Amino acid sequence: MTAAEPNVSVPSPLLRAAARGELPAWTCVKPKRLAHMGRVAALLRAWAEQLRLSEAEADRWCAAGWLHDALRDADPEALRPLVPPAFRDLHPLLLHGPAAAEKLAGEADEEMLDAIRYHTLGCACFGRLGRALYLADFMEPGRTFDVAWTASLRARMPAEMHAVLRDVVEARVRHVEEGGAVHPLTLEFHRAVCGGAP
Protein backbone atom coordinates (compact mmCIF):
# COMPACT_ATOMS: atom_id res chain seq x y z
CA MET A 1 0.00 0.00 0.00
CA THR A 2 1.36 3.42 -0.90
CA ALA A 3 1.11 6.43 1.43
CA ALA A 4 -1.67 7.89 -0.75
CA GLU A 5 -3.90 4.83 -0.41
CA PRO A 6 -6.54 4.56 2.32
CA ASN A 7 -6.08 2.11 5.15
CA VAL A 8 -8.72 -0.46 4.25
CA SER A 9 -9.14 -3.91 5.69
CA VAL A 10 -9.04 -7.15 3.71
CA PRO A 11 -11.83 -6.95 1.13
CA SER A 12 -14.95 -8.99 1.71
CA PRO A 13 -15.72 -11.95 -0.57
CA LEU A 14 -18.44 -9.78 -2.17
CA LEU A 15 -15.90 -7.09 -3.12
CA ARG A 16 -13.36 -9.63 -4.37
CA ALA A 17 -16.09 -11.13 -6.58
CA ALA A 18 -17.21 -7.68 -7.77
CA ALA A 19 -13.65 -6.85 -8.83
CA ARG A 20 -13.95 -9.85 -11.18
CA GLY A 21 -17.32 -8.65 -12.47
CA GLU A 22 -19.32 -11.15 -10.40
CA LEU A 23 -22.21 -9.18 -8.91
CA PRO A 24 -24.28 -9.86 -5.78
CA ALA A 25 -27.61 -11.66 -6.10
CA TRP A 26 -29.52 -8.48 -5.21
CA THR A 27 -28.22 -6.67 -8.30
CA CYS A 28 -30.96 -5.39 -10.61
CA VAL A 29 -29.60 -4.30 -13.99
CA LYS A 30 -30.45 -4.79 -17.64
CA PRO A 31 -27.78 -5.87 -20.16
CA LYS A 32 -27.14 -2.32 -21.41
CA ARG A 33 -26.53 -1.12 -17.85
CA LEU A 34 -24.28 -4.10 -17.12
CA ALA A 35 -22.14 -3.16 -20.13
CA HIS A 36 -21.90 0.43 -18.81
CA MET A 37 -20.81 -0.85 -15.40
CA GLY A 38 -18.12 -2.97 -17.04
CA ARG A 39 -16.77 0.02 -18.97
CA VAL A 40 -16.71 2.15 -15.80
CA ALA A 41 -14.89 -0.65 -13.93
CA ALA A 42 -12.34 -1.04 -16.74
CA LEU A 43 -11.67 2.70 -16.81
CA LEU A 44 -11.20 2.79 -13.03
CA ARG A 45 -8.83 -0.18 -13.13
CA ALA A 46 -6.80 1.45 -15.91
CA TRP A 47 -6.54 4.72 -13.97
CA ALA A 48 -5.57 2.91 -10.75
CA GLU A 49 -2.82 1.08 -12.63
CA GLN A 50 -1.59 4.30 -14.27
CA LEU A 51 -1.46 5.87 -10.80
CA ARG A 52 0.62 2.87 -9.70
CA LEU A 53 -1.82 1.94 -6.96
CA SER A 54 -1.43 -1.49 -5.43
CA GLU A 55 -3.19 -4.46 -7.00
CA ALA A 56 -5.56 -4.57 -4.02
CA GLU A 57 -6.44 -0.90 -4.50
CA ALA A 58 -6.94 -1.38 -8.26
CA ASP A 59 -9.33 -4.25 -7.41
CA ARG A 60 -11.15 -1.96 -4.98
CA TRP A 61 -11.57 0.74 -7.65
CA CYS A 62 -12.76 -1.87 -10.14
CA ALA A 63 -15.28 -3.27 -7.64
CA ALA A 64 -16.69 0.23 -7.10
CA GLY A 65 -17.16 0.54 -10.86
CA TRP A 66 -19.07 -2.71 -11.03
CA LEU A 67 -21.23 -1.94 -7.97
CA HIS A 68 -22.10 1.75 -8.43
CA ASP A 69 -25.18 1.06 -10.59
CA ALA A 70 -26.05 -2.35 -9.12
CA LEU A 71 -29.61 -1.18 -8.37
CA ARG A 72 -30.04 1.28 -11.24
CA ASP A 73 -32.79 -0.72 -12.94
CA ALA A 74 -34.70 -1.54 -9.75
CA ASP A 75 -38.09 0.05 -9.11
CA PRO A 76 -37.23 3.44 -7.53
CA GLU A 77 -40.25 3.33 -5.25
CA ALA A 78 -39.09 -0.04 -3.91
CA LEU A 79 -35.70 1.56 -3.18
CA ARG A 80 -37.05 4.66 -1.44
CA PRO A 81 -37.84 2.96 1.92
CA LEU A 82 -34.40 1.31 1.90
CA VAL A 83 -32.42 4.56 1.92
CA PRO A 84 -31.74 6.76 4.96
CA PRO A 85 -34.31 9.52 5.57
CA ALA A 86 -31.95 12.21 4.20
CA PHE A 87 -32.21 10.59 0.74
CA ARG A 88 -35.91 9.71 0.61
CA ASP A 89 -36.90 12.90 -1.23
CA LEU A 90 -34.39 12.39 -4.03
CA HIS A 91 -35.56 12.18 -7.62
CA PRO A 92 -36.39 8.52 -8.39
CA LEU A 93 -33.44 8.20 -10.79
CA LEU A 94 -31.01 9.15 -8.00
CA LEU A 95 -32.06 6.59 -5.39
CA HIS A 96 -29.95 3.70 -6.70
CA GLY A 97 -26.65 5.05 -5.33
CA PRO A 98 -27.80 5.47 -1.72
CA ALA A 99 -29.69 2.15 -1.91
CA ALA A 100 -26.63 0.25 -3.19
CA ALA A 101 -24.50 1.82 -0.43
CA GLU A 102 -27.01 0.57 2.13
CA LYS A 103 -26.85 -2.94 0.67
CA LEU A 104 -23.04 -2.80 0.81
CA ALA A 105 -22.82 -1.59 4.42
CA GLY A 106 -20.47 -3.92 6.29
CA GLU A 107 -18.95 -5.14 3.02
CA ALA A 108 -17.14 -1.97 1.92
CA ASP A 109 -15.18 0.80 3.61
CA GLU A 110 -16.69 4.25 4.10
CA GLU A 111 -14.80 5.84 1.21
CA MET A 112 -16.20 3.26 -1.22
CA LEU A 113 -19.69 3.57 0.27
CA ASP A 114 -19.55 7.36 -0.17
CA ALA A 115 -18.29 6.96 -3.75
CA ILE A 116 -21.26 4.73 -4.59
CA ARG A 117 -23.79 6.64 -2.48
CA TYR A 118 -23.05 10.01 -4.08
CA HIS A 119 -21.83 9.09 -7.58
CA THR A 120 -24.75 10.89 -9.27
CA LEU A 121 -24.74 14.02 -7.11
CA GLY A 122 -21.12 14.47 -6.17
CA CYS A 123 -20.03 15.09 -2.60
CA ALA A 124 -17.47 17.32 -0.92
CA CYS A 125 -16.63 14.25 1.20
CA PHE A 126 -15.20 12.36 -1.80
CA GLY A 127 -11.77 10.84 -1.56
CA ARG A 128 -9.81 10.00 -4.68
CA LEU A 129 -11.96 6.92 -5.39
CA GLY A 130 -15.18 8.96 -5.20
CA ARG A 131 -13.84 11.56 -7.59
CA ALA A 132 -12.57 8.89 -9.99
CA LEU A 133 -15.92 7.05 -9.97
CA TYR A 134 -17.84 10.29 -10.55
CA LEU A 135 -15.63 10.96 -13.59
CA ALA A 136 -15.61 7.42 -14.96
CA ASP A 137 -19.40 7.22 -14.75
CA PHE A 138 -19.66 10.46 -16.74
CA MET A 139 -17.01 9.85 -19.38
CA GLU A 140 -16.86 6.13 -20.00
CA PRO A 141 -16.45 5.47 -23.73
CA GLY A 142 -19.97 4.12 -24.26
CA ARG A 143 -21.56 7.47 -23.46
CA THR A 144 -23.01 9.08 -26.58
CA PHE A 145 -23.13 12.73 -25.56
CA ASP A 146 -20.36 15.04 -26.75
CA VAL A 147 -18.14 12.14 -27.76
CA ALA A 148 -15.14 14.27 -28.80
CA TRP A 149 -15.16 16.25 -25.54
CA THR A 150 -15.43 13.21 -23.29
CA ALA A 151 -12.66 11.48 -25.27
CA SER A 152 -10.44 14.53 -24.73
CA LEU A 153 -11.22 14.40 -21.00
CA ARG A 154 -10.32 10.68 -20.82
CA ALA A 155 -7.03 11.43 -22.57
CA ARG A 156 -6.12 13.78 -19.71
CA MET A 157 -6.84 11.19 -17.04
CA PRO A 158 -5.63 10.33 -14.49
CA ALA A 159 -2.71 12.78 -14.64
CA GLU A 160 -4.97 15.84 -14.63
CA MET A 161 -7.73 14.46 -12.42
CA HIS A 162 -8.48 17.66 -10.51
CA ALA A 163 -8.59 19.84 -13.63
CA VAL A 164 -10.81 17.31 -15.44
CA LEU A 165 -13.05 17.08 -12.38
CA ARG A 166 -13.42 20.86 -12.35
CA ASP A 167 -14.42 20.86 -16.04
CA VAL A 168 -16.94 18.06 -15.55
CA VAL A 169 -18.51 19.51 -12.40
CA GLU A 170 -18.90 22.91 -14.08
CA ALA A 171 -20.54 21.31 -17.13
CA ARG A 172 -22.88 19.13 -15.09
CA VAL A 173 -24.01 21.98 -12.87
CA ARG A 174 -24.69 24.17 -15.92
CA HIS A 175 -26.71 21.35 -17.49
CA VAL A 176 -28.83 20.80 -14.37
CA GLU A 177 -29.42 24.56 -13.99
CA GLU A 178 -30.96 24.61 -17.48
CA GLY A 179 -33.72 22.28 -16.31
CA GLY A 180 -34.20 23.15 -12.65
CA ALA A 181 -32.60 23.49 -9.25
CA VAL A 182 -29.22 21.99 -8.43
CA HIS A 183 -29.20 19.67 -5.42
CA PRO A 184 -27.51 21.22 -2.33
CA LEU A 185 -24.96 18.38 -2.17
CA THR A 186 -24.00 19.07 -5.79
CA LEU A 187 -23.62 22.79 -5.04
CA GLU A 188 -21.42 21.97 -2.06
CA PHE A 189 -19.35 19.64 -4.26
CA HIS A 190 -19.06 22.39 -6.87
CA ARG A 191 -17.79 24.83 -4.23
CA ALA A 192 -15.27 22.27 -2.96
CA VAL A 193 -13.94 21.52 -6.46
CA CYS A 194 -14.32 24.86 -8.25
CA GLY A 195 -14.60 27.44 -5.48
CA GLY A 196 -17.46 29.91 -5.31
CA ALA A 197 -20.95 29.75 -6.76
CA PRO A 198 -21.61 28.24 -10.21
Domains along the chain with CATH numbers: 13-194 (1.10.3210.10)
**Residue 8 identity (one-letter amino acid):** V
CA 147, CA 58: separation in Å to the nearest integer? Answer: 26
DSSP symbol at 11? P
Q: What is the pLDDT of residues 147-176, one digit of tens each?
A: 999 999 999 999 999 999 999 999 999 988
Q: What is the pLDDT of residues 69-93, one digit of tens each?
A: 999 999 999 999 999 999 999 999 9
**pTM score, whole prediction:** 0.93
